């Protein structure tokens, strides 16, 4: 399974979600690969400051041939997470075409909702070539104890793409863990942040299923 974390708007928290999602899935026993498809290299930078033993490999593939190059590499893994690039259409299209699920984080602001139209259009174009791409929104960086998350859900409904039930809130734990190249499930596994990311993982991956053997991955 390849999950692309994508939005054409920058600063929506793609890398935070990608790194933390990969950590949760890896902790569950799955063989995970994180692909940094953003020329800015945020996931690679996160990985480079890590001193602890890595939970999963991180590679850089910020190129428009990603959709052709990645499937062969992905065959060795149960789940591949792609940290996509903003504002670069060729790279965005390639990441979408490479993905089975396109996870689109959206912050609860009208600017982010308006900007989502560009990503939605790219996904719809990609679906003309790959019909089984599954696009989903997730509300990210919601301010705790506010109704603005509900408001953004109403606004996103215009795009006719599913909106995941879980909402990822703005929490300092994400920044604190990232500064060490860690995920919140490592620094504080009982925190609200870790619980939210774990819920997100469960909505994307069957966490109760037994991870595939290498032979099963090759046959998939």
In the chain, where the domains are located = 2-206
| pLDDT number for residue 94 | 92
Instruction: Provide the β-strand partners of residue 134.
Output: 101
Whole-angstrom Cα distance, residue 197 to residue 61? 24
3-state helix, strand, coil in the chain (%, to 5): 45, 20, 35
pTM of the model: 0.90
| C-alpha gyration radius of the chain | 16
| pLDDT number for residue 142 | 86
Looking at domain 2-206, its CATH architecture is: 3-Layer(aba) Sandwich (3.40)
Ranges of H-type helices in the chain = 14-27, 42-48, 66-74, 89-98, 110-127, 148-156, 172-178, 184-187, 192-204, 214-219
pLDDT tens sequence for the chain (220 residues):
999 999 877 777 899 999 999 999 999 999 999 999 999 999 999 999 999 899 999 999 999 999 999 999 999 999 999 999 877 678 989 999 999 999 999 988 888 888 888 889 889 999 999 989 999 999 988 887 666 667 888 888 888 899 999 999 889 999 999 999 999 999 999 999 999 999 999 999 876 666 666 666 666 5
């Amino acid at each position: 399974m390849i999950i692309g974390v994508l939005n054409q708007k920058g600063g929506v928290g793609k890398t935070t979600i990608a790194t933390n999602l990969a950590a949760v899935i890896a902790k569950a026993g799955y063989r995970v690969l994180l692909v940094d498809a953003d020329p800015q290299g945020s996931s690679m930078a996160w990985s480079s400051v890590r001193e602890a033993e890595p939970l999963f490999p991180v590679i850089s593939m910020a190129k428009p041939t990603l959709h052709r190059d990645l499937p062969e590499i992905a065959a060795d893994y149960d789940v591949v997470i792609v940290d996509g690039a903003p504002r670069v259409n060729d790279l965005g299209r390639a990441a979408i075409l490479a993905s089975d699920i396109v996870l689109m984080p959206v912050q609860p602001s009208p600017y982010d909702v308006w900007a989502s139209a560009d990503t939605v259009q790219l996904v719809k174009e990609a679906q003309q070539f790959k019909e089984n791409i599954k696009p989903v929104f997730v509300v990210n960086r919601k301010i705790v104890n506010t109704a603005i998350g509900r408001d953004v859900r109403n606004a996103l409904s215009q795009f006719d793409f599913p909106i995941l039930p879980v909402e990822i809130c703005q929490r300092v734990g994400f920044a604190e863990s990232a500064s060490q190249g860690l995920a919140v499930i490592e620094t504080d596994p009982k925190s609200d942040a870790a619980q939210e990311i774990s819920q997100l993982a469960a909505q994307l991956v069957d966490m109760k299923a037994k991870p595939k053997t290498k032979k099963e991955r090759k046959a998939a």
